[in-house]
């Protein structure tokens, strides 16, 4: 997929999950996280999950790696408020400066908080793949515009509901629902304030392959394992502890297959498995303690790609909508959603988009 097509997808709301046109259940955890969770992965290494900022907008996970001399952080959230909360947490752990901030890819929920780190740590170096830096330049103003639109719409809907005391269907709000609407209105107002203060901060150091950093007694590898979720996916690996921060190459329980390069994504995941990570911090979702989910994700991609390519072998150009009805991924849906079948609507949407990606990829072959 070209850089221009990725930017076009963002223009259509690809980053705002509330624009998906489906009702995402609260328990669809990779769609809407309700609780902040800090996980100690090893001495001086932490993963942070964030409460998502608005219905339909998300925060990526953050990884913090502390050496004896300096600190590296992977991904900076969607909002300045969440990034500042992380910075306050880091300052409780260590007085050392955050010297490096890695943006795993161009989606705003992984870099729009860069500004907070730049303000807190003047000597900061922000690292990203060259394609990511280019896409961030294109995407920043669009993401701000779309987020403001969604926040203002949420405020308007919430205000109307509170004034009327009713829901969209005309039924009355109960007390718990009223409190929830009041909370959403407050979230919307807070988001508007933060977005008005938002100033896009592009990477100060870009690369095409990768580099190795010494944080003082702790080696960290930052590299591009291949294209997958985006053109410029970057992962961070701590070889001694075998800890991998994977960005949105790995998201669970439902993967983010809304853009990307399915065929290459398969090979990229295999390269990550070959690292033999003991711990994986996904772009969204719970910390993983083995590669089992990664292999299932690889197999899902392979199954969809293979079925789509076979359809092209039988027809010069199959109909996409018809193809979506024939691709069979039922076994993967059952595996990935075993813990919570309530995530099914989100999985169905992600699969629909994955089939479209594989279709356009096969069509261009």
pLDDT digits (tens, 9 = 90+) for 58-110: 899 999 999 999 999 999 998 899 999 999 999 999 999 999 999 999 998 99
Query: Do 59 and 108 form a contact (C-beta atoms < 8 A)?
Result: no
Order of strands, edge to edge, in the sheet holding 235-238? 210-214, 219-223, 235-238, 243-251, 279-284
Q: Give the CATH class of 3-132+201-291.
A: alpha beta
Which two three-digit tokens encode residue 146?
């779309």
Give the C-alpha separation, 235 to 102, whole Å.
Answer: 9
Give the C-alpha separation, 70 to 40, whole Å.
Answer: 18
Which two three-digit tokens encode residue 70?
């300096």
pLDDT of residue 8: 34
pLDDT of residue 30: 67
Residue ranges of the chain with pLDDT lower than 50? 1-28
Q: What is the largest CA-CA distance in the chain?
A: 62
Scored b (16 or more CB within 10 A) or e, 235-245 reads bbbbeebebbb
DSSP string covering 204-246, please?
Answer: SEEESSEEEEE-SS-EEEEE----SSSTT--EEEETTTTEEEE
How far from 2 is each of 8, 18, 305, CA to CA, in Å? 10, 25, 19
Query: Do 170 and 32 form a contact (C-beta atoms < 8 A)?
Result: no
pLDDT of residue 148: 82
pLDDT of residue 248: 97
Strand partners, 64: 46, 73
Q: Where are the beta strands (DSSP E) in 43-82?
A: 45-49, 62-66, 71-74
Q: What is the DSSP letter of 171?
A: P
Q: Which among 112, 88, 106 is positioned nearest to 198, based on CA atoms?
A: 112
Which two three-digit tokens encode residue 355?
């089939």
Hey, where are the domains in the chain? 3-132+201-291
- Examine residue 253 and say whether the peptide bond preceding it is cis (omega within 30 degrees of 0): yes
Q: What is the pTM of this model?
A: 0.84
pLDDT of residue 31: 61
Reduced to 3 states (helix: H, G, I; strand: E, B; else coil), residue 162 is: helix
């Amino acid at each position: 997929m070209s850089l221009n097509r990725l930017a076009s997808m963002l223009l259509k709301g690809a980053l705002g999950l509330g624009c998906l046109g489906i009702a995402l259940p609260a328990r669809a955890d990779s769609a809407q996280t309700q609780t902040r969770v800090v996980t100690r992965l090893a001495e001086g290494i932490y993963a942070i999950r964030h409460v998502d900022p608005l219905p339909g907008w998300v925060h990526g996970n953050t990884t913090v790696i502390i050496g004896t001399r300096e600190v590296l952080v992977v991904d900076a959230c969607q909002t300045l408020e969440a990034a500042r909360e992380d910075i306050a947490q880091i300052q409780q752990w260590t007085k050392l400066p955050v010297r490096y901030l890695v943006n795993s890819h161009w989606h705003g929920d992984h870099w729009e908080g860069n500004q907070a780190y730049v303000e807190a740590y003047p000597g900061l170096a922000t690292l990203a793949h060259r394609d990511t830096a280019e896409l961030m330049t294109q995407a920043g103003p669009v993401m701000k515009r779309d987020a403001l639109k969604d926040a203002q719409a949420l405020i308007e809907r919430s205000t109307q509901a509170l004034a009327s005391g009713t829901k969209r269907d005309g039924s009355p709000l109960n007390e718990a629902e009223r409190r929830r609407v009041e909370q959403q209105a407050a979230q919307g107002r807070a988001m508007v304030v933060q977005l008005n203060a938002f100033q896009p901060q592009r990477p100060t150091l870009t690369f095409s392959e990768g580099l190795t950093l010494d944080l003082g007694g702790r080696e960290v590898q930052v590299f591009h394992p291949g294209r997958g979720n985006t053109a410029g996916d970057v992962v961070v690996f701590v070889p001694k502890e075998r800890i991998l921060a994977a960005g949105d190459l790995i998201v669970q329980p439902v993967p983010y297959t809304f853009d990307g390069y399915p065929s290459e994504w398969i090979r990229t995941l295999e390269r990550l498995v070959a690292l033999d990570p003991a711990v994986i911090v996904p772009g969204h979702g719970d910390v993983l303690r083995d590669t089992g989910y990664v292999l299932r994700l690889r197999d899902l991609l392979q199954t969809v790609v293979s079925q789509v390519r076979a359809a092209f072998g039988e027809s010069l150009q199959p109909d996409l909508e018809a193809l979506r009805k024939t691709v069979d991924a039922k076994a993967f849906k059952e595996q990935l959603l075993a813990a919570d079948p309530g995530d099914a609507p989100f999985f169905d949407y992600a699969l629909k988009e994955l089939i479209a990606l594989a279709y356009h990829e096969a069509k261009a072959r």
